[in-house]
Each structure stands twice: as structure tokens, then as C-alpha cells.
Amino acid sequence: MTENPPMGSNPLVTRREMLGRTGVAGLTALAGSAAGAVPQTQQTRPRIACCVSFWGAPGSHADWIICKLMDGYWWQGAHTASRVDVVSVYIHQFDTSGLGQKVCKAKNIPIYKTVGEAVT
């Protein structure tokens, strides 16, 4: 029995190819599943990229989440250290995101101009 593709879809383009064309395939490199990626050992911390639209206000979603990824967080009176390394950042509204620029500069984390650059 053969499967017919849904109407309007292009059977010549696979989902993986489409993700590669849109730049989302770079996200799989973060998990170590991209071709040519070095397998992670148990001692290796995952290296992640943070992509945000705006990081200019203390307590904003980007500030709250990314700072916890960098520094860890407090829960029920105990500090939980971060288990990942933030190695790159993309900020869409760069000019109005002064806080994100300051935090990244203080932590020596590069800010890239495109999402593709940040995730690879």
C-alpha cells in the first residue's frame, strides 16, 4: 500500500530538507545529533544558544530565563546550579536591548546578528 502525500504538499522536499533550508536544522546541532557532531560524554555540559526578541528590561522573560540558564536558580531555599553553558545569543531587537548587551558583555558571551550564526 502506498501513501499519498497530503494535497498541496511537495513530495520532493522532505521535512529534514525543509528544516535545513529554513535554518532550524542548526538546532539539532545543539543536541549533538547533527552530522559530524562530536558525541557528548557524561562530563560534558550541553552548549546552548539563546535566541530572543527583546532583552531590555529587568524581569522580562528573556532576562528571567537566560539568567537562570547562566547562573542557576533558587528553589525551596536551595540553589540549583546551571547544567548548561550559554555560548551564544541572538537578540532580534538589538538596539533596544541594552540589558542583554550588558549581561552578555559581562559574561563574555558573543551576540550574533542572525539566528543561524548563533546556533552554529
Q: Where are the domains of the chain?
A: 46-120
Identify the segments of the chain with pLDDT beneath 70: 1-11, 13, 15, 17-43
DSSP assignments along 28-49, one per residue? HHHTT-STTPPPPPTTPPPEEE
pLDDT at residue 49, rounded to an integer: 95
Strand 47-52 to strand 85-91: parallel, antiparallel, or no bridges (unpaired)? parallel
Tell me the whole-structure pTM to 2 decimals: 0.62
Containing 80, the helix (H) or strand (E) segment is: strand 78-80
CA distance linking residue 50 with residue 71, whole number of Å: 14
